[in-house]
Amino acid sequence: MSNILLYNTLSRKKELFQAINPPYVGMYVCGPTVYGDAHLGHARPAITFDLLFRYLRYSGFKVRYVRNITDVGHLENDADAGEDKIEKKARLEQLEPMEIVQYYTNNYHLNMAQINVLSPSIEPRASAHIIEQIQLIEKIIHNGFAYAKNGSVYFDVEKYNKSHSYGKLSGRVIDDLQSNTRVLDGQEEKNSAQDFALWKKANPEHIMRWPSKWSDGFPGWHLECTAMSTKYLGDFFDIHGGGMDLLFPHHECEIAQSVAGTGKESVKYWIHNNMITINGQKMGKSLGNFITLNDLFSGNHKLLDQAYSPMTIRFFILQAQYRSTLDFSNEALKAAEKGLERLMKGLNLLSSLKISDISSIDVKALSDKCHEAMNDDINSPILIAHLFDGVRSINSIRDGKDTITATDLESLKTLFNLFITDILGLVTEEKTGQNNELTAKLVELLLNIRVEAKKNKDFISSDKIRDQLTLMGVIIKDTKEGFEWELMN
RNA sequence: GGUCUCUUGGCCGAGUGGUUAGGCAGCGGUCUGCAAAACCGCGUACGGCGGUUCGAAUCCGCCAGAGACCUCCA
């Protein structure tokens, strides 16, 4: 079916992807906690796994892609003393918690659509799966790996580690953890510092609460992913993805929960995307150095020289391999903007190429290279480099320096549409105002007068029209046939 | 402090033993009334010091610097 290599964090090497039940593939990716606008960092996993989703589907797999919305249980601080992120935001904004959840979920969906990220097959909410989480806690308690205390339930890491390996995903040793875990407030309930909460008893002022046999409370953060992934994908599924920062403790805890609950691990391939950095540091909420997607699209942020279109952001992220850090800078984004333009121009040129009896370019070889790049751990930058080689060939054919047959041209069109549009998910963006009929007519009227002036060698008038229009934000390109124009963003 | 990772030409970013990745910027050229745009051409870089090897950006060691995780984070 395919020979896709994927880097599995569990084994620390690239493995041949073999679906558990081909052609079906189950993929679970940790989605956002909806208590703020999505920032550039959130776009990385979304695009990374969107790319994988698209490529797996193209490769013949029927993928069920589950990406959750965390709307409860994600604590602000340590598991005992912390405050629920959603609740905190709700209190600050004087809103019902679910109002916050709805608002930021809507914004997330809008942003994802803007960067052309496909909707997952299922998008479960943690708050809608309390029963499943309670059932899982009961199983874990039944199997002896959790204990209740004062209405809360904690996972017994030490006991689990005696018969299983806690730390196998992140490469941690439990003894190191014990000696190095910082002393935090409110941990007195737990038997051991590294134990984590499965259920938390709610304080009286806590709004988000559900009844359970232990207390009126709410589930722990790590639990939701285990409960929801196995509910929709079964006890053993193919791919679990997320950001590298979730590796420990979140994903480590997921493994422990699933083994403690069902007796076996539930994930075959663990895949992690790396971070987006800014000035060499991770972009994140806690450091306050994040730039939201809305900021990027509007250009309205002190670190931004200009606005960047959603496709520029998408291309910027795709230009780096997902396991590398990617450093934000205006210079890098501008480079991405220009590069994307070049690529899309090449794609558009395909429809106007003249055909010949023979081809001087090798479309099949290009196609093979593109597939090889994607098969090698989804290496999008290599794929893009090959596509740029294709663009050079396309320009060269246009200039008459290379030739292409009708058959090869069809193949090349198919290839470009497949990789650029379907797999990389890059589409041409309409510029705002371009469709305003009156503006278009006025601009064209002026430019036609300018053509007349040029014919009459009245360069003073022609340059005046050009300079004035340029000042107004009309980009003019002179061509053999006359002119082309577009509005500045 | 512990665990792990990274350090590539002006910028971003691929590449794991021997062939020029690619993009942006820059320079040169074609085109143009002049420009702009577009297109074409041009860059032998791999933190430092040793070692292995016929040969290392790529393997090993040491040193320096940066980062991630260890607490919420995509």
What pLDDT does residue A29 have?
98
Pairing verdict, β A13-16 and A5-8: antiparallel
Q: Which residue has the tokens 């990027």?
A: A296
HSE value, Cβ hemisphere, 13 Å, CA-based, for A262:
14
Give the CA-to-C1' distance from A397 to B34 in angstroms: 29
Nucleotide nearest to A277 (CA to C1'): B67
Predicted model pTM: 0.92
Q: What are phi and psi of A41, to 5 degrees?
A: -60, -35
CB distance A322 to A273 below 8 Å: yes
Which residues in A1-50 belong to E strands, given as ranges? 5-8, 13-16, 24-29
Q: Which residue is nearest to nucleotide B40 (CA to C1')?
A: A396
What pLDDT does residue A484 have?
85
Q: What are phi and psi of A240, to 5 degrees?
A: -125, 125
**Could you give the CA distance from residue A180 to residue A182 in angstroms, rounded to a whole number?**
6
Could you tell me the two tokens for A37? 């606008």
What pLDDT does residue A181 have?
47
**Could you give the CA distance from residue A202 to residue A152 in angstroms, rounded to a whole number?**
9
What pLDDT does residue A80 have?
47
Q: Which residue has the tokens 């689990």?
A: A160
Give the CA-to-C1' distance from A445 to B43 in angstroms: 45
Give the CA-to-C1' distance from A321 to B27 in angstroms: 30
Q: Which residue is nearest to nucleotide B4 (CA to C1')?
A: A171
Q: Dump pLDDT digits (tens) for A41-56.
A: 999 999 999 999 999 9
Nucleotides in chain B near protein beta carbons (<7 Å): 1-4, 10-15, 21-25, 31-41, 66-74
Give the CA-to-C1' distance from A34 to B67 in angstroms: 27
What pLDDT does residue A77 have?
53
What pLDDT does residue A187 have?
59
Pairing verdict, β A237-243 and A5-8: unpaired
Give the CA-to-C1' distance from A480 to B31 in angstroms: 9
Nucleotide nearest to A335 (CA to C1'): B24
Nucleotide nearest to A386 (CA to C1'): B22
What's the longest Cα–Cα distance across chain A? Answer: 93
Residue type, A73: G
Q: Which residue is nearest to nucleotide B30 (CA to C1')?
A: A399
Q: What residue ranges of chain A have pLDDT lower than 50? A: 78-80, 180-185
Sign for the CA dihedral angle at A369, A371, A375, A377 comes to positive
Assembly ipTM: 0.95
Cross-strand pairs, A386? none
What pLDDT does residue A273 have?
97
Give the CA-to-C1' distance from A399 to B40 in angstroms: 10
**Could you give the CA distance from residue A43 to residue A115 in angstroms, rounded to a whole number?**
8
- Dihedral, A88, A92, A97, A101 alpha carbons, nearest 10: -90
Which residues in A172-324 belong to E strands, given as ranges? 196-201, 217-219, 237-243, 267-273, 276-278, 281-282
What pLDDT does residue A207 have?
81
| Other Cβ atoms closer than 10 A to A237 | 24
Nucleotide nearest to A171 (CA to C1'): B3
What pLDDT does residue A192 have?
86
Give the CA-to-C1' distance from A312 to B58 in angstroms: 32
Cross-strand pairs, A13? A8
Task: Give the three-state DSSP class for A445.
Answer: helix
What pLDDT does residue A388 have?
96
Q: Which residue is nearest to nucleotide B39 (CA to C1')?
A: A395
